[in-house]
């Protein structure tokens, strides 16, 4: 670790010797406290109005400069997820890889880089784990190559990678409009406690949206474009009022997720029967977010669900966005 506030030199060579440097960044997963979804647009996307909440479940990316050119990616053995049978691309299809490639284009003196990702946010779980990896990589490579970009500039790059990436960079609480990329920070610092229940399978976000479109078409329902979020949700978050929040949680994708994975309904029912104030699918699922009265209630609920065979974890939010946790010359 470097002493004081001194930043390591961006130059990888001292004399003829290459000195590697590692910047480690953590970035949070998220839940959608509310998610209203508009109709399918001509461009193939859906407009949304959502309230994002960053929670205390983090991805980590360690970006290490390499003497060889190019970008390589690996998954850390310290990952807490069971990744057997999970297909995580480690090439240019990976969001973290794409983030590093963008930063290399923006930096004057990029080196090669190896990205080691520690996975804790469920893959294809509706919590933006891949987006957190991308946000962490942007910040790590900016520091590694002394690019000197502001958070606002990084956020613009993040938006090129996906709707959830800017929020993982920002963290806290935010309202997302457009396709989720038009973010407005919300003043909601009071802690809310949740229990996340993880599935042993993933759901494809495009499949969930297509299923929602199909359900709406079969019902002949015309859905207006969402233009804002329910102010009661923001007020409940601002006041730290879980009782009020429990009555206004909404996720338009939930019924599509349950159509694809009916067991999710049973998980929500069990959580509410065991003390959760309310339960909902997080984003496109299949992770379930159960709202608890307080941290003690969340811990008790997570333990009880664990005894019943569920993979459950107590978390809280809001938490800060991506941040550097170590910067080391090797």
Q: Report, as an integer, the average pLDDT of 191-209.
A: 95
- What is the rounded distance in angstroms from the CA atom of residue 63 to the CA atom of residue 225? 40
Catalytic residue from among 133, 142, 164, 252: 164
CA-only gyration radius of the chain, Å: 20
**What is the chain's mean pLDDT, rounded?**
92
Q: Are 96 and 117 in contact (CB under 8 A)?
A: yes
Q: Check whether 133 has a pLDDT greater than 90.
A: yes
Q: Report, as an integer, the average pLDDT of 151-180.
A: 93
Catalytic residue from among 30, 181, 252, 327: 30
Q: Report, as an integer, the average pLDDT of 231-250.
A: 96
Question: What is residue 263's predicted lDDT score, i.e. its pLDDT?
Answer: 96
Nearest to 244 by CA among 259, 255, 254, 231: 231
30 assigned to active site: yes
Structure-token pair, residue 141: 């490579």
Domains and CATH numbers, the chain: 16-330 (3.30.230.10)
252 assigned to active site: no
Q: Check whether 182 has a pLDDT greater than 90.
A: no
pLDDT confidence band for 258 (50 / 70 / 90):
very high
pLDDT confidence band for 2 (50 / 70 / 90):
very low
pTM for this entry: 0.91
Torsion angles phi and psi, residue 2, rounded to 5: -80, 140
Q: What percent of the chain has pLDDT over 90?
A: 84
Between these two residues, 169 and 2, which has the higher pLDDT value? 169
Helices in 195-241 by DSSP H: which ranges? 205-219, 231-239
Question: What is residue 11's predicted lDDT score, i.e. its pLDDT?
Answer: 52
**274: Cβ–Cβ under 8 A, 6 or more apart, which residues?**
301, 304, 305
């Amino acid at each position: 670790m470097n002493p004081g506030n001194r930043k390591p030199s961006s130059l990888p060579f001292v004399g003829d010797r290459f000195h590697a440097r590692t910047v480690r960044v953590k970035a949070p997963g998220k839940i959608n406290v509310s998610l209203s979804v508009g109709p399918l647009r001509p461009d193939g996307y859906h407009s949304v109005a959502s309230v994002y909440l960053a929670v205390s479940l983090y991805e980590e990316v360690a970006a290490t400069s390499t003497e060889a050119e190019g970008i390589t990616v690996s998954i850390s053995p310290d990952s807490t997820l069971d990744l057997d049978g999970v297909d995580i691309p480690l090439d240019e299809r990976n969001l973290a890889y794409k983030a590093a490639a963008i930063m290399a284009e923006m930096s004057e003196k990029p080196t090669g880089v190896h990205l080691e990702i520690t996975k804790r946010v469920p893959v294809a779980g509706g919590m933006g784990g891949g987006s957190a990896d991308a946000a962490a990589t942007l910040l790590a490579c900016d520091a590694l190559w002394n690019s000197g970009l502001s958070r606002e500039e990084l956020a613009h790059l993040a938006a090129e990678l996906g709707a959830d990436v800017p929020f993982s960079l920002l963290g806290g609480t935010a309202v997302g409009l457009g396709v989720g990329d038009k973010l407005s920070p919300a003043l909601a610092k009071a802690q809310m406690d949740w229990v996340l229940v993880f599935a042993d399978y993933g759901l494809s976000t495009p499949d969930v949206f297509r299923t929602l479109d199909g359900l709406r078409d079969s019902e002949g329902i015309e859905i207006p474009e969402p233009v804002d979020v329910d102010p009661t949700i923001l007020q409940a978050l601002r006041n730290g009022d879980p009782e009020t929040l429990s009555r206004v949680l909404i996720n338009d994708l939930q019924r599509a997720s349950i159509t694809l994975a009916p067991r999710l309904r049973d998980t929500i029912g069990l959580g509410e029967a065991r003390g959760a104030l309310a339960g909902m699918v997080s984003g496109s699922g299949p992770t379930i977010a159960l709202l608890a009265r307080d941290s003690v209630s969340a811990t008790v609920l997570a333990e009880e669900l664990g005894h019943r065979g569920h993979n459950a974890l107590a978390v809280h939010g809001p938490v800060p966005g991506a941040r550097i946790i170590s910067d080391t010359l090797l």
